[in-house]
Structure 1
Amino acid sequence: MHDSPAHHDLQLDKYGVEYIFPRVKKAYINHNGYFLHYQDIEATAQSIARVFQKDADTYRRVARQWLHWYRDIILPDMYSAPTPPDIWEAEIRRKPGGAEFLRVALGYSPLEYANELFESDLVRIALVRGAVISEYDPATKGIPSLVFATMISWFAQKNAMVRGGTRQVAEGIRQVIEENGGKIFLGNGVQKIIVENNTAKGVILDDGREFYADRFVASSVNPVQTFLFMIDESHLPESVREKAANFKFKEQSIFRVFLCLKERPLFTMAEREPDLNHSLYYTIGYDSPTDMTRMMQQANEGLVPDVTGLSGGIPTIHDPSQAPPGFHTAFFSILAPFDLADGGPGKWNDVSRDVTEKLLAKLREYAPNVKDANIIGKFPYTPVDIEACIPDMMNGDICQGKVCPEQSGFNRPWAGMSQYRTCIDGLYLCGASSHPGGLAVGGPGYNAANAIAEDLKIEKWWPQYDATKIVTI
């Protein structure tokens, strides 16, 4: 989020949004070894060299290239409306390094790219993990911009956490809205979008209140709920109803356990490398990238995956404000299905405790001090809980729609609806179902705001996004 136009244009730092940049970004640990991502490229290279010198040399070479791709190609692509694939390719090819970027972005899956670049499984895992974080199947050929941005940012760009938790970003945006005359209604879903003469005229809330719009309605809700749940089908062409019905959600979601602790997890391997105890995030236990792809496959089949590895963080290491003095919080997660093969979504109530204990058992292999006596409280957060908490994340899909080549760029949510404008006049899409997709990047809202301003002839008070003024190389 710190690289996004939303942060800079809205001046969120004035509203309490403060970023923490820990020296160690991510730790990769298994029983055979470890390496660390630092904010500094050379420090990361030296850590990789302890694993495999040749991979360290490769990393030094590609990290600089990645930074240029990130600043000059990927961020400008994320923070602009998508163009048809042939036009997009021609525009990228004209940029310095564009031909090589296209060779990788179109010709490789993240798994293939990791295997080509690196020889150590531990370093390969790190690159593949960036795709998995983006809710992308690393075996799928093609690397969409948001996926590539996540892979690159962990390896070569700065990474941060928000002081006080990511909710502070939403809180900052709330203050911006209200200071400029807007009003937010908490705990009220939209029951219906009012459409008259093929024009969006307002909304009806779940509690029955009606609000009329002078100029437009913008929906950050996924297109299935926007078009099929909130708009009478008489207002929609059959082609739109069909495409909305066929919009894909990801086959797997996330199971996460949150911990309240007397003492933070301490890693046995930190006796060899103290920095391991000071990382922003952790990826633990995976021996090879195939461990991750196997977990994905199991989740796709409706199975709770074998807990061969897990990922998570200990926020209070870097932000003590997130717990009472002297105490800690932590979270760890695995991929998991929304719809369990044995019992469906409702089965999660029966199995969540057992899955929690399996995650804790894996964590204790590396941080044995996470004993029951150290745990004040533990809270399992299942894929079903995700949908219940945030209903537009259907099936627990945190990106509001599967991230795949056929639903990326000019095809997100589908070709013909990817410019944030819809078949209903005055109705716009501005959520993660639109380009560039989910995660906390602010891209869909920024791009939709540009489209709305252009259509309504509103003078833009914000500058055109220029990544060169934000990202330092």
Structure 2
Amino acid sequence: MGVDFDAIIIGSGHNGLACALILAKAGWKVAVLEKADIPGGASKSAEITQKGFIHDLYATNIGSFLGGPFYREFGQDMHRHGFSTVFADKPFANVFPDGTGVGVYKDEEKTNTAFKNISESDYHAWQQLKQDFDATVPQMVPLMEMELPSWQAGKQLIKMYRTLKFKRTMELGSLILQSPREFVESRFESEKIRALFVPWAFHLDFGPDVSNGAVFPYIEVISNHRNGMGFTKGGISHLIGSLIAAIKEHNGQILLGKSVDQILIKNNKAVGVRLSDGQELYAKRVVIGNITPTQLITRLLKKEQLPSQYVQKAENYRYGPGTMMIHLALDDKLQWKAGEEFSSFAYVHIGPYINDIAKTYVEATNGLLPESPMLVVGQQSVIDTSRAPEGKQTLWVQVRALPAKSKGDAANQIQPATWDSMKGQYADRVIDKLAQYAPNVKGIILDRKVLSPMDLQNDNPNLVGGDSVGGSHHLFQYYIFRPIPGYSRYNTPIDRLYLCGAATWPGGGLNGTSGYLLAKKLLRK
């Protein structure tokens, strides 16, 4: 005998949980099924080095989530269940081989001074960019909180055109289509100022010369400057825990260790799921996969249950390059050559320059282990002291970008092998690079944990090849084309079967928007 629910959600990533909370609060009987023993998808924290050191395993920056529609409407529910935030007033910086660095502060005067110290011309370009941002982004952001395509989005585009007028609308369209390199080179003269912006595109899968990559640094740099960088106090699992507690408050169920083997289809309608233990759960209204299209066609449905064109496009769903995560328990703060100030920035990017990032991107996409990958160094415990014992620190190092499978090594030092065999050697290369900028790092490491691209995939099957953002965001697979042309509104060819998560609009990153939009859509039906 099966168990009946109104909605069954496969996967406990934050978008699935956001969707579940909205539906449960509206009175639906909701079950979230998670095959892992720990919920959260790519949003997890744990003591994976030593006791007392809390590491965000993958996602950590919650700025987009705090600025998104789900948090605006349901944030109070989360705070009632223990969610709290901390903000860095020194959100991010870049350091360079000459022992210098440049940072972006929440404090406007400090940021202005940092730009002026590099280039008077770039200081003025920075002021102009902020003016452009204030004129255009309030018109852009609402589109990122709407289904695409939709009448609502169409009205917003008309409003944008009427507000910005023809010339500025064309300028904005041109900016959105620029590569990160084109974006910065058309505005700034200093290589160091340019280097501040480009890594934000590389957090996704936009190498410096990939079109449409400009939009991310355009929004992220100024947003972090204006708002500071937000984190979950005590680790990102507290964000997930607050969502789960709120769901349970409204009688929703979170079932861990429950692997779904098959979505049950009857008369081209999703009617439930079969678990790996043979149990069947039935859904009166919808089945929702917080998954990628790849998972849908390879794990959960038979291909003959779907139109051949959909299957072909799902098979060709493209993933970006992989990511390695290195978590360090430290005996002290990093001592940056660029100065003591840099040990208190939330993020420190080490490219160091655009050409270095471009080289890394080409090497990774050609299947080579990059000789010198870009590093995103997260110093969260400086911002949130609850994450480490007194006097100690955690360090979060995101290594971008890497091939899912190695065909060779650009440095000709590591023999191609499985990631289990290579990850220790490659992590040593990363630490060597970090030590060039923070020489004390090797002497203060108490413990480390290395998560390779395949470790990411094994923990979360949506992170194929270690792609930490759930699929390429290049233009052919973004906006109205995400995840598959014709299916950008969370629907699938199967009636009552929907997708949400990073593979759907508005894409990767911790924002909760796809789960929010899907839930609102279902409640309107």
Instruction: Identify whether the pair has TM-score above 0.5, normalized to the shorter chain.
Output: yes
Matches of 2:252 and 2:218, distance apart in 1: 35
Preserved CA contact (<8 Å) 2:337 2:437? yes
1:104 touches 1:113 (CA, 8 Å); kept in 2?
A: yes
Aligned amino acid, residue 267 of structure 1: W
Is contact 1:285–1:309 with CA below 8 Å preserved after alignment?
yes
- For CA contacts below 8 A with separation 6 or more, give which structure has more relative contact order: 2
What amino acid sits opposite 1:283 in the alignment?
Answer: H
The one-letter amino acid paired with 1:73 is: Q
Cα pair distance change 1:354/1:346, threshold 3 Å: closer
Shift of 1:378: 0.8
- Is the alpha carbon distance of 1:310 and 1:186 closer, same or farther for their aligned partners in structure 2, counting shifts above 3 Å? same
Q: Answer whether contact 2:333 2:343 (CA < 8 A) is retained.
A: no
Q: CA deviation at 1:242?
A: 1.2
- What amino acid maps onto 1:295 in structure 2? T
Give the percent of matched residue pairs that are identical in Structure 1 and Structure 2: 26
Q: Judging changes above 3 Å, is the alpha-carbon distance between structure 1 residues 109 and 402 closer, same or farther for their aligned structure 2 residues? A: same
Bigger mean CA offset, 82-91 vs 441-450? 82-91
| CA drift at 1:95 | 3.5
Is 2:263 the counterpart of 1:263? Answer: no
**How far apart are the structure 1 equivalents of 2:114 and 2:283?**
56
Provide the residue aligned with 1:464 in structure 2: none
Match for residue 447 of structure 1?
517
| Partners of 1:67 and 1:17 in 2: CA distance | 30
Q: Taking structure 2 as the reference length, what is the TM-score of the superposition? A: 0.80
Asked whether the equivalents of residues 78 and 145 of structure 1 are also in contact (C-alpha less than 8 Å), the reply is no
CA RMSD of aligned residues (A): 2.3
Alpha-carbon distance, 1:143 to partner: 4.1
Contact 2:351/2:374, CA 8 A, preserved across alignment: yes
The match for 2:250 among 180, 185, 205 is: 180
Partner of 1:461: none
1:157 & 1:92 partners in 2: Cα distance? 24
Residue of structure 2 in register with 1:134 after alignment: 204
Checking the alignment, whether the CA contact within 8 Å between 2:322 and 2:453 is kept in structure 1 is: yes
Deviation at 1:49, TM superposition (A): 1.1
Give the drift of 1:89: 5.8
2:28 is aligned to none
| Residue 308 of structure 1: how far off its partner (Å) | 5.9
Aligned counterpart for 1:115 among listed residues 171, 182, 185 = 185
1:44 is the counterpart of 2:44: no
Counterpart of 1:9 in structure 2 is: 73
Q: How many Å separate the matches in 2 of 1:262 and 1:390?
A: 31
Q: 1:395 to 1:48 in 2, by over 3 A?
A: same
Q: Distance in 1 between matches of 2:288 and 2:426?
A: 39
Q: Higher mean Cα deviation, 50-59 or 146-155?
A: 146-155
- After superposition, give the CA deviation of every residue in 1:341-365 in whole Å (9 maximum; x if it has no partner): 1499962122211111111112122
**Residue 53, structure 1, aligned to residue 120, structure 2:** yes
- Secondary structure in 2 aligned to 1:269? coil
Equivalent position of 1:360 in the other structure: 431
Contact (CA 8 Å) 1:27, 1:36: kept in 2 or not?
yes
Q: Which residue matches 2:228?
A: 158
Sort the Cα spacing of 1:145 and 1:235 in 2 relative to 1 into closer, same or farther, 3 A. Answer: farther
Given that 1:7 and 1:13 are in contact with CA atoms closer than 8 Å, whether structure 2 keeps it comes out as no
The alignment partner of 2:301 has SS state of coil
Q: CA shift at 1:176, angstroms?
A: 1.5
Q: Which amino acid aligns with 1:299?
A: A
1:374-453 correspondence runs (5 A): 374-453=444-523
Partner SS for 1:28: strand
Structure 1 residue 13 displacement after superposition = 2.3
Letter in 2 for 1:371: K
Cα deviation, residue 234, structure 1? 2.9
Separation in 2 of the partners of 1:159 and 1:361? 27
Contact 1:304-1:336 within 8 A present in 2 as well = yes
Query: What's the offset of the Cα at 1:197?
Result: 0.6
Instruction: Report the Cα distance in structure 2 between the residues aligned to 1:146 and 1:188, rounded to whole angstroms.
Output: 36
Structure 1 residue 310: deviation in Å? 2.0
Q: Is residue 102 of structure 2 the alignment partner of residue 35 of structure 1?
A: yes
* Matched AA of 1:20: V
For 1:318, the aligned partner's letter is I
Q: Report Cα offsets for 1:421-452 as digits up to 9, x if no partner.
A: 22111111111111110110111111111221
Q: Secondary structure at the match of 2:441?
A: coil
Superposed displacement of residue 142, structure 1: 2.2
Structure 1 equivalent of residue 349 of structure 2: 283
Aligned length: 447
Which of these residues, 78, 82, 93, is aligned with residue 161 of structure 2? 93
Q: Which digits, 9 at most, give the CA deviation of each residue in 1:289-320, with x for residues without a partner?
A: 01101101111111111126522112111111
Extract unaligned runs of 5+ from structure 2: 1-64, 409-413
Q: 1:205, CA displacement in angstroms?
A: 2.0
Q: Which runs of 5+ in 1 are unaligned?
A: 456-473
| 2:285 aligned residue | 215
Determine if the alignment matches structure 1 residue 304 to structure 2 residue 304.
no
Contact 1:345 1:384 in 2 (8 A): no
Aligned position for 2:323: 254
1:102 aligns with 2:102: no
2:359 is aligned to 294
Q: TM-score, normalised by structure 1?
A: 0.89
Letter in 2 for 1:94: R
**Partner of residue 295, structure 2:** 225
Which residue pairs with 1:313 in the alignment? 378
1:135 Cα shift?
2.6
CA distance in structure 2 between the aligned counterparts of 1:124 and 1:370, rounded to whole angstroms: 27
Partner of 1:240: 310
Q: CA-to-partner distance for each residue in 1:74-106, whole Å, 9 max, x for gaps? A: 321111101289958655433335443212113
Deviations 1:444-467 (A, max 9, x none): 111111221222xxxxxxxxxxxx
* Structure 1 match to 2:61: none
